[in-house]
Amino acid sequence: MHKVPKIMVGASLALALAASGTAQAGTFATITIDDAYTDWAGIPVVDSDALDNPGFVDFADTQIANDANFLYIRNTYWGPKSLGTFMGIDIDNDFDTGFNIFGLNLIGQDAGWQNDFPFTSGDNIFNDGFGMSGDFFGSGAGLLAPFADTTTREMAISLDVLLNEDNSALFPDNTIRILFWTDQAAGDVTGVINYTLAVPEPASLALIGLGGLAMLRRR
């Protein structure tokens, strides 16, 4: 089982606890996972973390967006280290029913990704072995670019992923509790991000409706 250190950098811990209640309204957008970032222009930063784990994975800014099918994440880092990033999801907003990262009572990780590799967690168990199913590659994996140490990277996760243990939805409602963390060196965590899935703007829905009406008229 993967081990994590018990001692955290003090500044990182304080900032994570201070940001743990932040709620973020979602942004509806479709992002191409191609290691090019022009399509992230205008997507708000949902978390900013101080330089506090130099020489190792050291989180800076995080952006998140979604469309009807995928959750999109862009992480930036203070240095050229990114492999070793974990992303944890708390499904039920209860840190007692998942893996309590570093014992900080920030989230109870029910599912996670080490870089793009998916796994599920149980009560105080980092990887309970049940896993997920669905895109990508049928296992719930993330689509990540680049898969290399870098100062910025992007990833997509399907919103239709299921948990193998009981075939339940990975994303059962429209709010997702996310924590990014690493166990490299003294460790680093972001603030808890409460991300609410976005829906298309009313103008976009109206255009979709008009398009459907036009098709009916042609028929």
* Domains assigned to the chain: 10-218 (2.60.40)
**Whole-number mean pLDDT of the chain?**
87
Q: Which of the four pLDDT bands, split at 50, 70 and 90, describes residue 77?
A: very high
For residue 137, count other CB atoms closer than 10 A to its CB: 11
Q: Mean pLDDT throughout 3-14? A: 44
Q: Which of the four pLDDT bands, split at 50, 70 and 90, describes residue 201?
A: confident
pLDDT over 70 at 12, yes or no? no
Q: Mean pLDDT throughout 59-79? A: 98
Contacts within 8 Å (CB) and 24+ apart, 67-70:
67/28, 67/29, 67/30, 68/159, 69/158, 69/159, 69/160, 70/30, 70/31, 70/156, 70/157, 70/158, 70/159
pLDDT over 90 at 215, yes or no? no
pLDDT over 60 at 125, yes or no? yes
Amino acid identity, residue 175? T
Q: Mean pLDDT throughout 1-5? A: 43
Q: Mean pLDDT throughout 136-141? A: 95
As a whole-number percent, the residues of the chain with pLDDT over 70 amount to 82
What is the Cα–Cα distance from 102 to 175, expressed in whole angstroms? 23
Residue 157 DSSP one-character state: E
pLDDT at 211: 52
Q: What is the pLDDT of residues 146-160, one digit of tens each?
A: 999 999 999 999 999
What is the Cα–Cα distance from 184 to 11, expressed in whole angstroms? 16
Residue 99 DSSP one-character state: E
Q: What is the pLDDT of residues 18-61, one digit of tens each?
A: 445 556 789 999 999 999 999 999 999 999 999 999 999 999 99
Tokens of 217: 């008229």
Q: What is the pLDDT of residues 178-193, one digit of tens each?
A: 999 999 999 999 999 9
What is the Cα–Cα distance from 195 to 93, expressed in whole angstroms? 12
